A and B are shown apart, each in its own frame.
Chain A
Amino acid sequence: MKELVVLSGKGGTGKTSIVGSFAALAVNKVLADCDVDAADLYLLLQPQPRKEQEFWSGQVAVINEDSCTRCGLCQELCRFNAISDFRVYSISCEGCGFCSQICPEEAITMKDNLAGDWFISDTKYGPLVHARLGIAQENSGKLVAVVRQQAREKADESGFEYIITDGPPGIGCPVISSLSGARLALIVTEPTLSGIHDLERVLGVCRHFKVQPLVCINKYDINVSNPRQIEEYCLGQGIEVASKVQYDNAFTEAIEHGLPVIEYKGNGLSSQIEALWRKVQEYLNS
Chain B
Amino acid sequence: MIVSVASGKGGTGKTLVATSLALSLKNRERVQFLDCDVEEPNAHIFLKPVITGREAVCIPVPEIDESKCTFCGKCAEVCAFNAIAIAGRHALVFSNLCHGCGACSYLCPEKAISEKSRETGIIEFGHTDGIEFVHGKLTIGEAMAPPLIRKVKEQVINDNFVIIDAPPGTSCPVVESIKGSDFCLLVTEPTPFGLNDLGLAVKTAKELDIPCGVVINRASSYNTEVIEFCRREDIPVLLSIPLDRNIANLYSQGITLASGMPDWRTSFISLYDSILEIVNERTGCIKR
Interface residues of chain A, those whose CB is within 8 Å of chain B, are 8-13, 16, 36-38, 40, 43, 59, 77, 79-80, 91-92, 94-98, 101-102, 133, 135-138, 140-141, 168-177, 190-194, 197-198, 201, 204-205, 208-209, 222-223, 226, 252, 255-256, 258
A192 (CB) vs chain B CBs: closest residue: B252
A138 (CB) vs chain B CBs: closest residue: B172
**In the complex the two chains form, what is the Cα distance from A149 to B186 in whole Å?**
33
Partner of B40, one of A37, A92, A169, A255: A169
**In the complex the two chains form, what is the Cα distance from A171 to B192 in whole Å?**
25
From 172 to 204 in chain B, residues with beta carbon under 8 angstroms from any chain A beta carbon are 172-175, 179, 189, 191-193, 196-197, 200, 203-204
Which of under 10, 10 to 19, 20 to 34, or 35 or more describes the interface residues of B? 35 or more
Q: Is the CB of A222 within 8 A of B252?
A: yes
**In the complex the two chains form, what is the Cα distance from A128 to B45 in whole Å?**
37
User: Given the complex, which residues of A lie within 8 Å of B192, measured CB to CB?
Assistant: 40, 43, 255-256, 258
Q: Is B12 an interface residue (CB 8 A)?
A: yes
Interface residues of chain B, those whose CB is within 8 Å of chain A, are 8-12, 15, 37, 39-40, 42, 45, 78, 80-81, 99-103, 106-107, 138, 140-145, 167-175, 179, 189, 191-193, 196-197, 200, 203-204, 207-208, 220, 222, 245, 248-249, 251-254
User: Given the complex, which residues of A lie within 8 Å of B100, measured CB to CB?
Assistant: 79
B195 (CB) vs chain A CBs: closest residue: A43
Q: Is the CB of A172 within 8 A of B142?
A: yes
**In the complex the two chains form, what is the Cα distance from A108 to B166 in whole Å?**
33
**In the complex the two chains form, what is the Cα distance from A91 to B180 in whole Å?**
12
Partner of B169, one of A12, A38, A197: A38
Q: Is the CB of A255 within 8 A of B193?
A: yes
Q: Closest CB-CB distance, A80 to chain B, in whole Å? A: 8
Q: Lowest 9 CB-CB distances: which A-B pairs, in order? A: A11-B10, A12-B11, A96-B101, A170-B39, A98-B103, A208-B141, A204-B140, A193-B254, A192-B252
User: Given the complex, which residues of B lie within 8 Å of A204, measured CB to CB?
Assistant: 140-141
B7 (CB) vs chain A CBs: closest residue: A11
**In the complex the two chains form, what is the Cα distance from A79 to B151 in whole Å?**
13
Q: Closest CB-CB distance, B226 to chain A, in whole Å? A: 12
Q: Is the CB of A16 within 8 A of B193?
A: yes
Q: Is the CB of B252 within 8 A of A101?
A: no
* A172-B138 CB under 8 A given contacts A193-B252, A198-B40, A256-B222: yes
Q: Is the CB of B168 within 8 A of A256?
A: no
Partner of A205, one of B141, B170, B254: B141
**In the complex the two chains form, what is the Cα distance from A175 to B37 in whole Å?**
14
User: Given the complex, which residues of A lie within 8 Å of B222, measured CB to CB?
Assistant: 252, 256
Q: Is the CB of B10 within 8 A of A135?
A: no
User: Given the complex, which residues of B lie within 8 Å of A175, measured CB to CB?
Assistant: 39
Q: Is the CB of A176 within 8 A of B141?
A: yes
Q: Is the CB of A197 within 8 A of B42?
A: yes
**CB<8 Å pairs between A and B, sample of 17:** A11-B9, A11-B12, A16-B193, A37-B171, A40-B192, A40-B193, A77-B106, A98-B78, A102-B106, A136-B170, A170-B173, A172-B39, A192-B253, A193-B45, A222-B248, A252-B220, A256-B222
